[in-house]
Amino acid sequence: MTERLRLKKNADRRLKAGHLWLYSNEIDIATTPLKDFEPGAQAVIEAANGKPMGIAYVNPHSLICARIVSRDVDVRLDRSLLVHRFKQALSLRARMFAKPFYRLVYGEGDLLPGLIVDRFDDVLVVQLNTVGMDRLRDEIVAALEKVLAPRAIVFKNDSSGRRQEQLGDEVEVVYGELPDQVLLEENGVRFVVPVLDGQKTGWFFDHRANRAWLNGLVAGKRVLDVFSYVGGWGVQAAAHGASEVLCVDSSAQALERVAENAALNGLAEQVAVGEGEAFEALAALKAEGEQFDVIVLDPPAFIKKRKDIPNGERAYSRLNREAIRLLGRDGMLLSASCSMHLAPERLMECVRGAVRHQDRHGQVIYQGHQGPDHPVHPAIPETAYLKAMGVRVFRN
C-alpha cells in the first residue's frame, strides 16, 4: 500500500494552480507525520478532505518536503514514466534545435523536479539534485539508455542543492566510455566541454540566444568578457568578427580552456586572457587606460537566498558601474544575472544607476532570458531565473 501525505486545509491551492512543490508547514503532521517517511519515498498527496491530488516524492528533512511527479495517483515515477518524460522533453528540443546540443531535462520545467540532463551529442551529463531523484539513479540511466542510446553518461553530482538535501558529492562516468574530448557547437562555434571538472555540467546552454544576439553586434569591435569561464561569450564574439577579445576569469583552469577553444576555432590571435577577480581586474584595466566597445558581464549568482538580496543588488550595481567606466563614448553593455531572486526590474535599476553614476545615457535595446531548452513552468516562477540586458551606453 502506498503511503499518503495529507495537506492542511486550503494548503492545496498552489497545487491546484499547477505548482509541484509542497512545504513542510503545509502538511497535516497530526494525520500523516512527516518524520515517518523515508527520504525519497513516493506518496499519494491528499487534500485536507482526503481527495487524492497526485504522487510526490518526499524528503522530511527539507523545507520543500515533497515534489509532485505525477497527477495520476496510479502512476509512480519509475523507469516507464522516465522514458515517457524523456521522450516528451526530446520532442521539444528536436523541434527547437538542429543539432544535438542542449539541456534535455530542466527539472520542474520538464515535470521532473530535481533532475538536470545536458546533452552533448552522444554524451549526457546528469545532475541528481534531490534525494527523490538520487534514489532513482539506476532507472534514470536505463531510461536515458533506452531513449537516446548514448556513448556515455556522466553523473555530475556536486551541486549546492544536493548538500541542502544532505547528499554527498560525486562525479563519475556511470555508463559507457567518455571520449578524450567532449565537443559541442553553439551558434556555429565549437567548444571543448569540461564535463568532469568544469562548472555545473560543464557548459551553460541557457544563454545561447543571448549570445546569438550579441554576436550580431561585435564585428570590428574590442570586446571584454568578464567571468568568461571557458569563453562562451568571448570566443563566439571573436568568431563573429570582433577585432580583439579579452576574457577575464578568476580560474586559471577556465582560462586555459578559453585559449584551447579559441585555438579550436582558429581564433588564437584575436583572443587574450587575463586572470583575476572581476572587481580587481576591472579596476586594473581602468588604471591602465583600457577601453572597450562591448563589455559582457555574466557573473555567478550574487543572490543565492532571499536574505542575500540587499548585498547582492549592491554587488550588481557596483559591477555594472566599474564596467561602464571602461566603455568608449558609444559602447554596448550586456549585463546578465542568473539570480532567481533578482527581479528583472531590479537588474534594470542596477544598470540605470550605474549609467547615471558615470553621467552617461543608457538605451535598453535588448531584454533576453533563458532559451527554450530551459522551459519556464508557468506555475513556478522559480523556473524563470535568467536575465540579460543589452544596453547602449553613450555620452551627451
107-154 pLDDT tens trace? 999 999 999 999 999 999 999 999 999 999 999 999 999 999 999 999
- Catalytic residue status for 338: yes
Considering the candidates 65, 247, 338, 350, report the single residue annotated as catalytic: 338
Task: Say which residue the cell 522514458 belongs to.
Answer: 83
Say what the pLDDT of residue 2 is.
72
Residue 183 Cα to chain centre, angstroms = 19
Say what the pLDDT of residue 78 is.
97
- Are 187 and 211 a contacting pair, CB within 8 Å? yes
Task: Say which residue the cell 531572486 belongs to.
Answer: 341
Tell me whether residue 121 is exposed, middle or buried, using C-beta atoms within 10 angstroms of its C-beta: 0 to 12, 13 to 18, 19 or more. Answer: middle
Determine the number of helices (DSSP H) and then strands (DSSP E) in the chain.
11, 19
Residue 60 Cα to chain centre, angstroms = 26
Q: What is the grid cell recorded at 147?
A: 531513449
Amino acid code (one letter) for 73: V
Task: Spell out where 74-151 has E strands.
Answer: 101-106, 115-120, 123-128
- Are 154 and 123 a contacting pair, CB within 8 Å? yes
Say what the pLDDT of residue 166 is.
87
> Which tens digits make up the pLDDT trace of 36-83?
999 999 999 999 999 999 999 999 999 999 999 999 999 999 999 999
Say what the pLDDT of residue 164 is.
85
| N- to C-terminal Cα separation, the chain | 73
Say what the pLDDT of residue 160 is.
84
- Are 362 and 321 a contacting pair, CB within 8 Å? no
Output the CA–CA distances (angstroms, integers) from residue 383 to 102, 109, 114, 380, 387, in the order listed.
17, 7, 12, 6, 12
Output the CA–CA distances (angstroms, integers) from residue 194 to 129, 151, 191, 253, in the order listed.
20, 16, 10, 10
Question: How many CA atoms lie less than 13 Å away from 10 in the CB half-sphere?
Answer: 0
Say what the pLDDT of residue 327 is.
97
Amino acid code (one letter) for 176: G
Residue 256: closest CA among 230, 277, 224 = 230
Task: Say which residue the cell 513556478 belongs to.
Answer: 380
Cβ–Cβ contacts within 10 Å for residue 157, how many? 21
Task: Say which residue the cell 539570480 belongs to.
Answer: 339
Say how far apart CA 340 and CA 342 lie, in whole Å. Answer: 6
Torsion of CA 98, 101, 103, 104, to 10 degrees: 70
Residue 136: closest CA among 201, 67, 72 = 67
Say how far apart CA 45 and CA 17 lie, in whole Å. Answer: 15
Tell me whether residue 139 is exposed, middle or buried, using C-beta atoms within 10 angstroms of its C-beta: 0 to 12, 13 to 18, 19 or more. Answer: middle
Does pTM top 0.75 for this prediction?
Answer: yes
- Which parts of the chain register pLDDT below 50? 1
Cα 187-301-333 angle, rounded to 5 deg: 55
In DSSP notation, 222-271 reads EEEEET-TTTHHHHHHHHTT-SEEEEEES-HHHHHHHHHHHHHTT-TTTE
Residue 77: closest CA among 137, 4, 36 = 137
Output the CA–CA distances (angstroms, integers) from residue 316 to 128, 350, 351, in the order listed.
30, 6, 8
Say what the pLDDT of residue 157 is.
93
